[in-house]
Amino acid sequence: MTAVLDERNAVRRVASVRRRGIRRGRTVGLVLAALASGLVLLELSLGSVTLPPDDVLAALFGTATPQAEYIVGEVRAPRALTGALAGAAFGLSGAIFQGLVRNPLASPDIIGITMGASAAAVVAIVVFGATGAPVSVSAFCGALGTATLIYVLAWRRGMSGYRLVLVGIAVAAVLSSVVSYLMTRAQVRDAQQALVWLTGSLTARTWTDVAPLAVAVVVLVPPAVLLASGLRPLQFGDDAATGLGVRVERHRLGLIVVAVALAAAATAAAGPVAFVAFVSAPIARALVNGNGPALVPAAFTGAVVLVGSDLVAQHVLELVGIVALPVGVVTGVLGAPYLLWLMSTTNRTGRA
């Protein structure tokens, strides 16, 4: 009788902890969504012509002056929405990869997927003289092709997360060499265009950049949420996931396809913005205070990181006399110390 009561109490405690975790995750998600919305509104307000929030809202609803409607609707809104959507896509993609592979290095900007997009974009710019939409299409196809190559090379009677990371880093190194070679052979104008794209930038974004990215996010988020139910069991290993009724390889492949497509769409729209996918999931997990993938908070964290970094790059740095920079410069400065810290702690753990 005592054993039965102890078991029931243990079940109740586990259920209580899980309910608290779910509530905390929802609260964190709502706070991050509100923060991302506030940053987007701030980006719509700031610029060479500063608009108060009520004028921005009036412009969004079509009741402002023609000048305000043009500034908000045609100049600032595409940039802000591209940043928010790309950040969300990067964050969600990184959370899926890191949760699936159980390795904090397994994000699309570390394992070569965004480098594949970069190589394809540089080929389009330098070799074919492409600009605009063809560059984005090339980047999208390059990311998908690189992900397929990495998956095939890493497959050995199943998928190992450690092997996937190593193969991805190796492929990224090869593609980086290709990009460097093309840059040395490019004309000055093409090299400048390629360099801006490689850094990651939201400059001169239009609704033609927003539309395909928005479609990709709307189409890919539902399957990501549905497949997330099997992501937690996969974190305990293939045998445990199989015992819990998860079709391991099918589920893993579906998650990889969704994560790759999200990263490819974000890179095609905003360029290979460094470290957004890499840092979003750890930040989200820390805020949720859990070990799970925290997909929705990671998506909102990515939006906050990218839009916030763009505000810093475009407006905050001007206050100290620094010209406006591509957003990828700021995210690189923010993400590089975390990568160094992660590698340092990993090395200490390995030696221990």
Task: Output the DSSP codes for 186-231.
Answer: S-HHHHHHHHHHHH---TT--HHHHHHHHHHHHHHHHHHHHHGGGH
Q: Summarize pLDDT for 102-132 with one digit per residue, the tens.
A: 888 889 988 999 999 999 999 999 999 888 8
Residue 231, pLDDT > 90, answer: no
Question: φ and ψ at 287, to 5 degrees?
Answer: -70, -40
> What are 155's strand-pairing partners?
159
Mean pLDDT of 156-160: 76
Q: Summarize pLDDT for 237-289 with one digit per residue, the tens.
A: 767 777 767 777 788 889 999 999 999 999 999 999 999 999 999 999 889 88
Number of domains in the chain: 1
pLDDT at site 10: 45
Contact 145, 130 (CB under 8 A): no
pLDDT at site 246: 76
* 281: enclosing H helix or E strand: helix 276-288
Contact 325, 317 (CB under 8 A): yes
198 within domain boundaries:
yes
Residue 351, pLDDT > 50, answer: no
Query: For residue 99, what are the domain limits?
Result: 28-351
22 within domain boundaries:
no
> What are 159's strand-pairing partners?
155
14 within domain boundaries:
no
Average pLDDT, the chain: 87
Would you say the C-alpha torsion 264, 266, 267, 269 has a positive or negative sign?
A: positive
pLDDT at site 320: 75
Write the Ramachandran bin of 219: left for phi over 0, alpha for psi from -120 to 50, otherwise beta: alpha
Question: φ and ψ at 48, to 5 degrees?
Answer: -60, -30
Query: Which residues, in sequence order, are CB contacts of 305 under 8 Å at separation 6+?
Result: 87, 91, 276, 279, 280, 283, 331, 334
Structure tokens at 89: 């896509």
What is the rounded (10 degree) CA torsion for 62, 68, 73, 79? Answer: -150
121 within domain boundaries:
yes
pLDDT band at 167 (very low <50, low <70, confident <90, very high): very high
**Identity of residue 200:** G
**Identity of residue 190:** D
Query: Which residues, in sequence order, are CB contacts of 227 under 8 Å at separation 6+?
Result: 251, 254, 255, 258
20 within domain boundaries:
no
Query: Which residues, in sequence order, are CB contacts of 169 under 8 Å at separation 6+?
Result: 105, 110, 111, 112
pTM higher than the cut 0.95: no
Closest CA to 260 of 103, 137, 120, 89: 89
9 within domain boundaries:
no
Between 68 and 345, name the one with better pLDDT.
68
pLDDT at site 16: 52
Three-state SS for 159?
strand
Q: What is the CATH number of the domain that holds 48?
A: 1.10.3470.10
Neighbour count for residue 305 (Cβ, 10 Å)? 28
Three-state SS for 299?
helix
1 within domain boundaries:
no
Query: Which residues, in sequence order, are CB contacts of 58 under 8 Å at separation 6+?
Result: 64, 68
Residue 350, pLDDT > 50, answer: no
342 within domain boundaries:
yes
